[in-house]
Structure 1
């Protein structure tokens, strides 16, 4: 029998993987979105509910992404400042290219062109990462953002009805 780490065994474990910056959206848009998906009977990987205590966080997230049919990155103002969000998005885009995973981006209070062109708050985050991380790694992250920013998604401008 194949090990639990094989991608074919895990591929459809989750219907949806949500990638988001917790501080930006966890207690507003993302929590409401998660509940709406669940009400529709969609099996969603959500870190607070699906991670086991003591489990290695980064590896568990990478496995969950690979085991999902659809990934939904929720780009917010500080999404690119999070190293775990950068790693998640890179894995998501790899799975899109390699496995044909569906990627449906949500641009929450950010302009999709800022994601695509690394401008605005994304430029600030990448400039900071360039001071701390190898240039090649930052280049890979930027490529993932460029590709994700070119995808058709939803642009949520802000306001009272975001929930």
Structure 2
């Protein structure tokens, strides 16, 4: 069954095809028009009685005046533009967050921590795969702007991300800022007791990870050679959905 918005769009589209403001004709002789009005009445009875335009539509459907198609189309178009009503009918709920709490909400779904040398081989493609899914990402190449104090911006990003995908490779080892980022996320995860770090082992073994970062070795990671970037993005989306459902 088509959802509310899809049904509404179909009604508007089909109504525009039959609507002629110059010569609407006699409704009783126009089966297509009559059928469309009947479809609108069914849609109205199912969804629109409580909309502010509901009483007007009820009157139009009862009297079916000569220009009823144009009038009903105008109502349907106005309802399409009523975003709060559309969101409600589509099951999208808005949450009003007090200003004092809004500052603590995550600004990014994920922070990608990586060594610059791994951008071309993996990170760029992963970023695009995540972006395609509509995921909000802190990625230095896109998030840092001209004139930013980049160290402050990165630290701020580590505090405002729901998750951290850590691409750990030999290029990651012993780099000041990759390890600073990792430490920030480890501290946050230990402090909050909530899953945060999602490691990707890129061309290294679990043994190498354990030797270099024992505190990360007991966190379940995935090897980059076993999953495509699209698959990793989908795995991340599942983690994000679980988190949102638990809130």
Using the size of structure 1 for normalisation, the TM-score is 0.72
Which has the larger share of helix? 2
2 CA distance for matches of 1:20 and 1:90? 13
Aligned to 1:154: 222
Which has the larger share of strand? 1
Any runs of at least 4 consecutive aligned residues in structure 1 with deviations exceeding 4 A, and if so which? none
2 CA distance for matches of 1:58 and 1:65? 11
1 CA distance for matches of 2:164 and 2:222? 14
Q: Residue 113 in 1 paired to residue 181 in 2?
A: no
2 CA distance for matches of 1:111 and 1:44? 27
Q: Residue 20 in 1 paired to residue 114 in 2?
A: yes
Q: CA deviation at 1:11?
A: 3.9
Aligned length: 130
Q: CA deviation at 1:93?
A: 0.6
Q: Structure 1 82/8 Cα, relative in aligned 2: closer, same or farther at 3 Å?
A: farther
1:42-121 pair list within 5 angstroms: 42-99=135-192, 100-118=194-212
- Greater relative contact order, per chain length (Cα 8 Å cut-off, separation 6+): 1
Q: Please provide the CA RMSD for this pair.
A: 2.2
Using the size of structure 2 for normalisation, the TM-score is 0.48
**Are the counterparts in 2 of residues 38 and 44 from structure 1 also a CA contact under 8 Å?**
yes
1 CA distance for matches of 2:105 and 2:114? 21
Aligned to 1:136: none
2 CA distance for matches of 1:47 and 1:17? 9
2 CA distance for matches of 1:9 and 1:54? 23
* Superposed CA offset, 1:69-106 (max 9, x none): 00011001120131000101000111111233521100
- The SS at the match of 2:173 is helix
Q: Which has the larger radius of gyration?
A: 2
- The SS at the match of 1:79 is coil
